[in-house]
């Protein structure tokens, strides 16, 4: 089948049974939040009133569970990428998980995590250099790059500066860095 014919057939509107099959297939490929799946179903639904019935049925069958999704996603982001809480919260919200549920899941997953240690592990993995980390952080450009990477990874500005001051041979270089407002109080 030509590529354009495949695309045209995949854009057709689906009945309630078609939406169910589409949703189950989407969930078999990867986990989705309710919000993500609702958005996908809305784009495909022949009758928008079928969407809530399909979602309810998915919940009843145990195929869809936002709490399980949020905890699993947060755990994966912590274990695989070593991201900070702020980044994981932002990512969960982008995946259309409610703020309260996202915060609850992140708090549970990060409950026993030493963020100071997490920051140190993250920076050791992300600063690519043949020199020891302390020597690499002597370079103001390398230090600024490390700072930006840590902020993007979801670590609080004050924690980042505190850690970099401890790791850098020349911590006075960090005096000019202005930490962004931490989105959570530690």
Ramachandran bin of 61, using left for φ above 0, alpha for ψ from -120 to 50, beta for the remaining angles = alpha
Q: What is the mean pLDDT of each run of 10 residues along the chain (186 residues)?
A: 50 89 96 96 94 96 96 96 95 96 97 92 81 77 86 91 81 63 45
Predicted structure pTM score: 0.78
C-beta atoms surrounding 58 within 10 Å: 20
- Over residues 40-82, the pLDDT tens digits come to 999 999 999 999 999 999 999 999 999 999 999 999 999 999 9
Give the C-alpha distances (Å, rounded to integers) separating 173 from 105, 119, 129, 163, 182: 37, 19, 19, 13, 21
C-beta atoms surrounding 126 within 10 Å: 13
Cα gap 2→38, rounded to integer Å = 29
User: What are the domain boundaries of the chain?
Assistant: 12-61, 66-109, 115-176
Q: What CATH code would you report for 12-61? A: 1.10.10
């Amino acid at each position: 089948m030509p590529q354009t014919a495949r695309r045209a057939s995949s854009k057709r509107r689906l009945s309630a049974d078609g939406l169910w099959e589409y949703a189950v297939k989407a969930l078999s490929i990867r986990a989705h939040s309710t919000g993500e799946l609702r958005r996908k179903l809305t784009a495909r639904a022949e009758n928008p009133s079928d969407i809530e019935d399909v979602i309810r049925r998915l919940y009843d069958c145990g195929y869809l569970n936002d709490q399980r999704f949020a905890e699993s996603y947060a755990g994966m982001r912590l274990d695989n990428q070593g991201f900070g809480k702020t980044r994981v919260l932002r990512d969960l919200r982008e995946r259309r998980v409610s703020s309260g549920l996202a915060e609850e899941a992140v708090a549970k997953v990060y409950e026993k995590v030493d963020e100071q240690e997490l920051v140190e592990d993250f920076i050791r993995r992300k600063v690519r250099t043949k020199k020891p980390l302390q020597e690499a952080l002597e370079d103001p450009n390398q230090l600024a790059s490390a700072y930006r990477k840590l902020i993007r990874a979801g670590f609080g500005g004050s924690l980042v500066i505190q850690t970099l001051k401890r790791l850098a041979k020349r911590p006075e270089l960090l005096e000019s860095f202005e930490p962004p407002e931490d989105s959570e109080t530690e």
